[in-house]
């Protein structure tokens, strides 16, 4: 594993190169863009977001190939300027439905419009979803073994944020 920085539009973007099980290197902090496939990772841990039996789960990156029935590959799509992530197997878009983060929407529409913003510490990116005319951070409730993907209104340090682990997301391009 190596760490280096590249310059993007005048700012430094950290990159973490990872050797996959297939022997090729990928870059964890690729900037998401439409028509590319990614693994969505938590940059501060060894976990990635996957979909298994219709539920979002966090999977240890080292064990991804051993998890039966889970898909951790997400196709980045764009509609009307909004990004989205569609699960490569189920076709469900990552988004909010009835206040809960899911990957059920077959269409990239309201509730699955996403905005990616650099995280303040420079470790990765915030993944924000538009819901009820506001931007909400997508993060995690609970520990990784029993995690629930959730949303949190409010800026850093808000009372609401205490109930959700903000994730510095990384995007490993495949």
**pLDDT of the residue at 82:** 94
For 5-42, what is each residue's pLDDT tens digit?
Answer: 343 444 434 433 444 443 334 445 788 999 999 999 98
List the one residue out of 107, 116, 109, 108 whose CA is nearest residue 135.
Answer: 116
Kindly state whether residue 59 falls inside one of the protein's structural domains. yes
Q: Is this prediction's pTM over 0.85? A: no
**pLDDT of the residue at 101:** 83
Kindly state whether residue 141 falls inside one of the protein's structural domains. yes
Domain residues for the domain of 90 are 33-173
For 39-52, what is each residue's pLDDT tens digit?
Answer: 999 888 888 999 98
Phi-psi region of 99 (alpha: psi -120 to 50; beta: other; left: phi over 0): left
Kindly state whether residue 13 falls inside one of the protein's structural domains. no
| CATH classification of the domain holding 131 | 2.80.10.50
Q: Hey, which residues does 85 pair with through a beta bridge?
A: 76
Kindly state whether residue 136 falls inside one of the protein's structural domains. yes
Kindly state whether residue 73 falls inside one of the protein's structural domains. yes
> What count of residues does the chain have?
174
For 80-126, what is each residue's pLDDT tens digit?
Answer: 999 999 999 999 999 887 777 888 888 898 889 999 999 888 888 98
Kindly state whether residue 158 falls inside one of the protein's structural domains. yes
**pLDDT of the residue at 147:** 54
Query: Would you state the structure tokens that stand for residue 147, as one six-digit string?
Result: 């995690």
Query: Would you state the structure tokens that stand for residue 101, as one six-digit string?
Result: 């983060």
Asked if residues 54 and 90 have their Cβ atoms less than 8 Å apart, the reply is: yes
Kindly state whether residue 115 falls inside one of the protein's structural domains. yes
Between CA 171 and CA 31 the distance in angstroms is: 7
Kindly state whether residue 57 falls inside one of the protein's structural domains. yes
Domain tally for the chain? Answer: 1
């Amino acid at each position: 594993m190596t760490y280096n920085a590249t310059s993007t539009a005048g700012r430094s973007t950290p990159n973490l190169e990872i050797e996959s099980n297939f022997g090729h290197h990928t870059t964890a902090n690729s900037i998401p863009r439409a028509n590319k496939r990614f693994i969505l990772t938590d940059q501060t841990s060894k976990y990635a977001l996957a979909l298994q039996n219709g539920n979002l789960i966090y999977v240890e990156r080292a064990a991804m190939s051993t998890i039966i029935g889970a898909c951790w590959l997400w196709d980045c799509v764009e509609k009307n300027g909004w990004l989205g992530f569609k699960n490569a197997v189920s076709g469900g878009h990552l988004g909010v439905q009835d206040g809960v983060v899911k990957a059920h929407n077959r269409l990239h529409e309201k509730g699955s419009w996403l905005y990616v913003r650099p995280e303040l510490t420079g470790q990765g990116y915030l993944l924000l979803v538009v819901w009820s005319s506001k931007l909400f951070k997508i993060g995690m409730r609970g520990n990784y073994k029993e995690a629930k993907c959730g949303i949190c209104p409010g800026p850093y340090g808000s009372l609401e944020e205490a109930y959700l682990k903000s994730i510095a997301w990384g995007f490993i391009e495949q």
